[in-house]
Amino acid sequence: MISLVLVMVFAATLLYVADYLLQPDRLPVQRISFVGEFQNVSRDALQDVAVPYVGKNFLALDLDKLEDALSEIPWVANVSVSRRWPDTLQIDFRETQLIARWNDDTWVTENADIISLPAAAYSNLPRWFGPEDSHELVQARHRQFSSILASGGLRTDVVRYSARGAWQIEARPDDANEALRIRLGRRDLQERLQRFIQAYTQSLSHMEERLQIVDLRYPNGFALQWDKTQEREAG
């Protein structure tokens, strides 16, 4: 009987303390801190969403609701909100990362979303071209082509995918200004590119003339075009 009474007293005490602590005027939020890099995400936009929570009960906040609202802000890729005793809300966020320019006026994010931005904002990113809704396929091919070309010291700058299913690449050595155009065609893409890169590393990359175009659309070989402008200047 005594044990039961003690349990009831303890439970009643917990309920009283909880009710006391959860009163709207108790333990008000006084500070908001942000953890993340502000490059494209607007601090003002984050604050506009979070500031209404200042003054509210620290323990009674609906953090999921706040996270949902913050995640709708442009450029926010991931966000989490946590309590820091006794009066601070900490907002950890990560910005959306762009991975390529898509066609002429849009960009591909790390989550495979397409967004619109000024063309000059991220000119160092690779460029992808293709029919509507083909960006994920082009991304996969870019990864595949880049791996092969990197083994020969070439960086993949441009990947084009035509409506007819043909592929074309523009790549360059790190020390070159002019790109090498590689026509792959529609089939046996890896085999053709690997055959070329083997010849490139063994001999073609050591030639004095600059290789301008490589046509790999042949079953057992490829055609080469050298920079004639360079030849005239050299002459």
Going by pLDDT thresholds of 50, 70 and 90, the confidence category of residue 197 is very high
Going by pLDDT thresholds of 50, 70 and 90, the confidence category of residue 11 is very low
Do the first three CATH levels of 2-95 and 98-234 match, i.e. the same topology? no
pLDDT value at residue 229: 62
Structure tokens at 206: 């050591």
Residue 98 φ then ψ, to 5°: -90, 145
User: Where would I find the H helices in the chain?
Assistant: 2-21, 43-50, 63-71, 135-150, 189-202, 228-234
Question: Of the ranges 29-33, 57-61, 70-74, 183-187, which one carries the lowest mean pLDDT score?
Answer: 57-61
Domain range summary for the chain, segments of one domain joined by +: 2-95, 98-234
DSSP string, 172-222: EETT-SSPEEEEEESS-HHHHHHHHHHHHHHTGGG-SSPEEEEE--SSS--
* Domain 98-234 belongs in CATH node 1.20.120.1200: no
Going by pLDDT thresholds of 50, 70 and 90, the confidence category of residue 75 is confident
Question: Of the ranges 10-19, 115-124, 136-145, 192-201, which one carries the lowest mean pLDDT score?
Answer: 10-19
Three-class DSSP category at 53:
helix
Instruction: Flag whether pLDDT at 133 surpasses 70.
Output: yes
Domain 2-95, CATH class in plain words: alpha beta
Instruction: Flag whether pLDDT at 193 surpasses 90.
Output: yes
Question: Of the ranges 7-11, 89-93, 216-220, which one carries the lowest mean pLDDT score?
Answer: 7-11
Structure-model confidence comparison of residues 11 and 111, the more confident one? 111
pLDDT value at residue 33: 93
Question: Of the ranges 4-13, 198-207, 214-223, which one carries the lowest mean pLDDT score?
Answer: 4-13
Question: Of the ranges 13-27, 30-44, 145-159, 196-210, which one carries the lowest mean pLDDT score?
Answer: 13-27
pLDDT value at residue 108: 94
Q: Which pTM does this prediction carry?
A: 0.74
